[in-house]
Structure 1
Amino acid sequence: MKINRKLRFQLFMQNSFFLVLFLAFIFLLGFVSFEYHGSQDITQSARNTLSEGSVNVLKQMKGPISITVFVSQDKEYRKIINDFISRYQRSKPDINVEYINPAEHPKLAQDEAIKAEGEMVIEYEKRSEHLVPAYVEQDMTNLLVRLSRSKERAVMYLDGHGERNLIGIRNYDLGEFGKQLQKKGFKLANPDLTIAQGVPTNGAMLVIASPQVDITDVEVKKIKDYLDAGGNLLWLLDDEKMHGLQPIADYIGLKVTPGMVVDLSSAQYGADAKIAFASQYGEHAITNNFMLRTLFPEARMIDAKGTDDNGWEVSNLISVAPNGWLETSKIESASSATKVSFDDKKDIRGPINIAVALERKYGKKGQRVVVVGNGNFLANTYVGQGGNLDLGVNIVNWLAGDDSLITIQPKLLKDVNVSIPRDGFGHLAALIIFVPIFGYSLGLFHVIIPLAFLISGIIIWWKRRKA
């Protein structure tokens, strides 16, 4: 076909119109990408976005958060800090950040008692705390939880009767759980009821963690007086023996059925039958949207009944062993637990309820009690398993009246490293992919492939233009 001037002009106009439309499309695409943001974190453990627990904590913080970072002018270090903070800013835009170079403002750094490069001062509602590198989501979120609390309140625990100790280091104790409570803004107190006039009423709650010997009548009376005054209680039971606390059980309408939960399905998790796994939870603020699996070694069946006289509203919290039962005969060891069989005349078929939450009105504030037929789940040996820690923290937050802070706790993210083989094909492939160019590890995907596409495009365009 012969190309004359008219046809050439038509082709020119068509190409020009296409170019204008293409540039307009690129402009609109850039405008939309600038105005509207969307992202998907596909990394392992979603390491570039916040966990559900952190997001929920930020939602409860209504006012702005101010972060002052004391760091040098190192651009790469500041970028690392900014990337960490931006994860929180995406969920809460009113997080304000200011960078201060300690070398240029030594007086400010001294006034804030700055001790480390990159140390942050985080302020919320006129309360502040420090966060030092290395930055971890769990540490940051725990700090925000502490700032969210209007005041530091005491978790009081009974001691002197063989209880699981909230500062103890034995496998049996609850020391690790106690440390987590302190990180979340609680302080621990240990009133001696043998000499104190009573249980202090200004604490958040009293914890009775599986006493092994009988509690004296004097102490029991002080505990009952504390409940009469509207105090909150967390009671962990390891057997049906009351150890002198039967008056407290009667006061809250508690019933403990003799026997131990047997869960033969625990074998699929590599555990013995004395460990009951739970994934079914009652409708309650503590377990709302709680979907983590928890485990309870040597769990007991409990129940509570609210009456017009006691005024308690009772909620069942945790059901275990849907395919198991409550074994009423004595189980001597873990090996014998796998040999027991269900007896429909004596045993109780699962699921078995092992925890209750009680609540009633008391003056201007509510009164709350939680009883769990197991203390092992918060022991140092088991508190890090599954969702045990999350459940324990949720219980304490609810008892303290901090319903807004009941959430799944942030998890430590796994660190992932790429190991480059020293020889062989793997070493050659790594060199091709990660080969340093101009001092940077740009490599195959950052430079070589895009450059190859660019050169190929230019060659194809040139050949077609010559044709």
Structure 2
Amino acid sequence: MKRLRVRMPGRWLLAALAAVAVAVTGTLLAPRTTAVWHWTASGTQLSEASIRLLETLQGPISLTVALPEGHPVRAHVRRLAASYERHTTVELEFVDPGRSQQRARELGLLRDGEGLVGWQGRHERFSTPSEARISRALQRMSRRSGRYVVWLTGHGERRPDRGTNFDMQAFAQALERRGYRPRSVHAKRVASIPDNTAVLVVAAPTRHLDTAARTLIDDYISRGGSVLWLTEPGGQAGTLLPVAVGDAPLEDPRTPELLDVDDTRLLVLDAEQGHPASRGVQAPLLLSRATSLTPGESEWQITPVITGSRRLTSDERPATLALALTRQLEDRRQHAAIVGDADFLADAYLGNGANLPFALNLVDWLGGNNALTGTFMRGAPDQRLDFRRTDVLLLGFGHIFALPILLALGAAWTWRRQRGGRASTG
């Protein structure tokens, strides 16, 4: 008698049946189950700068975005609003430009993705819904209360209202976008610096400050005003603040190698980490004809903000090119800053490296907006690779020596195997 043999289905058939079962189960459960995974680097977390900004605001914010019903960007906007709602109250509204044309025209939202952010009765428009644009708009609204940045003029200083390479028009425009109101004041035409001045800028006067100008600055400092003094070799900052200014520009013998230029007075330096002015500053600064600064004995607490290596000076100590000064004045803290270079904020140099973000942070700190320093843009961690020195050496050794040796060994093993196969066949 022959035995009856039952043949089991092949593995491929079992795999197909399992796949069909999973698909059917997913189809049945889909209407009842909702799951969302957010795999982007930013996720739904705000940057530290945005969180600090929201902590300074009082009251809810509103977001109105023009997007049609069912538009996929609506989900992104809801996630973005939820990230803000973790730190404050958010009122979110969508406007369908197709169905509510009159409402969209009243709000001035003409394109999909445009929106308005509101706070305490003020509103600002943004072109696309992103953390950077929304937080910048909130930052500007929070400062729009007469926060003037005043340039003192009358002695050959750099000016905020002229567009030459020597002057600082681009920096003034950047401050205006940040919510400040830049102005210039002639030293001989005012009796005192206005009380609503957030920061007084003394931008490297080329002529000697007369008695009237010195009295004007000294009175402003004695009233607790914040000063950003940009000086150059042999400058006059030391006459009113406890800092000695060097007489000659510093030089870096490595500049030709770093920048491929012959001018060794161009310096590539990093801002000192730990100070609010360097918050979010990743790139180096570019300074030109900068001089060293030496702090003196005083009631001010003086901290280096920009330092250079020992190769910039003949001394044993590293050169200091910018100082932050702080002192307690009655019920508040007063700030001042001295930078041994005025070119790094001039139109010709402002766009290099991190000159602009560093300077904006410095003005925020001087103006008492320490919580608002930093950047609202956070780079994804997979956009940058950080290697230690040992990692770089291992990678270099691997590509130059190890990888060719492995390839040669693999080729020799393959050749020997093929040769042995031919010999056995013969």
Is the aligned partner of 1:169 residue 2:163? yes
Which residue pairs with 2:420 in the alignment? none
- The CA distance in 1 between the partners of 2:353 and 2:43, in whole Å, is 21
Which residue pairs with 1:351 in the alignment? 318
Which residue pairs with 1:300 in the alignment? 291
1:314-368 per-position Cα deviation (integer Å, ceiling 9, x unaligned): 1111112x25223xxxxxxxxxxxxxxxxxxxx3356311000001112222211
Change (3 A) 1:192 1:125: same
- The CA distance in 2 between the partners of 1:192 and 1:280, in whole Å, is 32
Change (3 A) 1:410 1:169: farther
Change (3 A) 1:50 1:106: same
Is the aligned partner of 1:130 residue 2:121? no
Which residue pairs with 1:453 in the alignment? none
User: So what's the TM-score if we normalise by structure 2?
Assistant: 0.72
Which residue pairs with 1:37 in the alignment? 37
C-alpha deviation, 1:117, in angstroms: 2.8
Which residue pairs with 1:319 in the alignment? 307
Which residue pairs with 1:239 in the alignment? 233
Is the aligned partner of 1:372 residue 2:339? yes
Change (3 A) 1:143 1:186: same
Q: Which moved more, 1:348-357 or 1:184-193?
A: 348-357
The answer for unaligned runs of 5 or more in structure 2 is 381-426
1:141-189 per-position Cα deviation (integer Å, ceiling 9, x unaligned): 4323213437340001111222111222111111111111000100012
Change (3 A) 1:34 1:393: farther
Q: Write out aligned runs for 1:375-390 (5 A).
A: 375-390=342-357
- The CA distance in 1 between the partners of 2:74 and 2:203, in whole Å, is 42
Residue 259 of structure 2 is aligned with which of 260, 269, 277? Answer: 269
Which residue pairs with 2:383 in the alignment? none
Which residue pairs with 2:246 in the alignment? 257
- The CA distance in 2 between the partners of 1:79 and 1:315, in whole Å, is 50
2:66–2:109 contact (8 Å) kept in structure 1: no
Is the aligned partner of 1:56 residue 2:49? yes
Is the aligned partner of 1:221 residue 2:215? yes
C-alpha deviation, 1:79, in angstroms: 4.0
Q: Which moved more, 1:56-65 or 1:116-125?
A: 56-65
Partner SS, residue 277 of structure 1: strand
* Residue-pair matches, total: 364
1:51–1:411 contact (8 Å) kept in structure 2: no
C-alpha deviation, 1:194, in angstroms: 1.1
C-alpha deviation, 1:393, in angstroms: 0.5
Which residue pairs with 2:179 in the alignment? 185
Partner SS, residue 281 of structure 1: coil
Change (3 A) 1:386 1:412: farther
C-alpha deviation, 1:396, in angstroms: 0.3
Identity, % of aligned pairs?
22
1:261–1:324 contact (8 Å) kept in structure 2: no
Partner SS, residue 167 of structure 1: coil
- The CA distance in 1 between the partners of 2:208 and 2:375, in whole Å, is 36
- The CA distance in 1 between the partners of 2:194 and 2:329, in whole Å, is 17
Change (3 A) 1:136 1:295: farther
- The CA distance in 2 between the partners of 1:380 and 1:410, in whole Å, is 24
Is the aligned partner of 1:145 residue 2:139? yes
The answer for unaligned runs of 5 or more in structure 1 is 42-47, 327-346, 414-467
1:99-122 per-position Cα deviation (integer Å, ceiling 9, x unaligned): 22456545544554x163344211
- The CA distance in 2 between the partners of 1:273 and 1:30, in whole Å, is 67
Which residue pairs with 1:431 in the alignment? none
Q: Write out aligned runs for 1:403-442 (5 A).
A: 403-408=370-375, 410=377
C-alpha deviation, 1:30, in angstroms: 8.6
C-alpha deviation, 1:378, in angstroms: 1.0
Change (3 A) 1:59 1:3: farther
Partner SS, residue 180 of structure 1: helix
Change (3 A) 1:23 1:93: farther
What is the one-letter code of the residue matched to 1:278? L
